[in-house]
Amino acid sequence: MELKFSCGKLDSKGQLPIEYIMTMGVIFLVSLLFLSQAGCQSELNTALASARSGAIEGANMNSFALYPEETFQNYTSTHNTLTKPATVRIISIEYKNQGLSPTYRKEKIQIKVHASAPSVKNPADRNCLGDRINYHVRMSISQSFKTENLTNKVFNPAFSPRYVFTTCDVAWV
């Protein structure tokens, strides 16, 4: 007994291979669309993880009162409170897509850090703490994407292949 498999008349006209090729082509195009979107999301997730890491590093530097010598001298004369260790906590980090930047031809993302430092009451001191946190946020993003050479010494703005990142004043809770 012999078994025979036949696709009927469609196979003899070559229609099955054409349908197969068309189906695979559509699946390939849909896959490319999803992969492209996933790549953008991955880059943004990497940047936000770096921002979180940088904010924590900046808060820790302020918590330990560890500063570069020039900054320490400035703080000794104008912000004496900051030369002593203080607890600084990062509450949250949010971002806002501000659309295409005409200057850099990349999407502009603004990052806002919410922090708490109950022992630091003076607004000028909080502003200095916020500047230090934002500096570390931008530096961390630049280091993650190896774009330190594309920005200035305070890493403002920070870059990735698709985005340009800026920070706004830290919101103190």
Distance CA 42, CA 108 (A): 16
User: Please, are residues 137 and 111 in contact by the beta-carbon 8 Å criterion?
Assistant: yes
Tell me how crowded residue 60 is: count the other CB atoms within 10 A of its CB.
Answer: 14
* pLDDT digit string, tens, across residues 53-81: 999 998 888 777 777 787 778 878 888 88
Single pTM value for the model? 0.76
Distance CA 137, CA 112 (A): 10
Which structural domains are found in the chain, ordered by start? 43-172 (3.30.300)
User: Please, are residues 141 and 157 in contact by the beta-carbon 8 Å criterion?
Assistant: no
Q: Would the pLDDT of 91 be above 90? A: yes
Residue 31 vs residue 92, higher pLDDT: 92
CA-based nearest residue to 54, from 140, 146, 145: 140
pLDDT on residue 30: 83
User: Please, are residues 84 and 139 in contact by the beta-carbon 8 Å criterion?
Assistant: no
Residue 141 vs residue 6, higher pLDDT: 141
Distance CA 131, CA 134 (A): 5
- The angle formed by the CA atoms of residues 62, 129 and 51, to the nearest 5 degrees, is 80
* pLDDT digit string, tens, across residues 121-156: 899 989 989 998 999 999 999 999 999 988 888 889
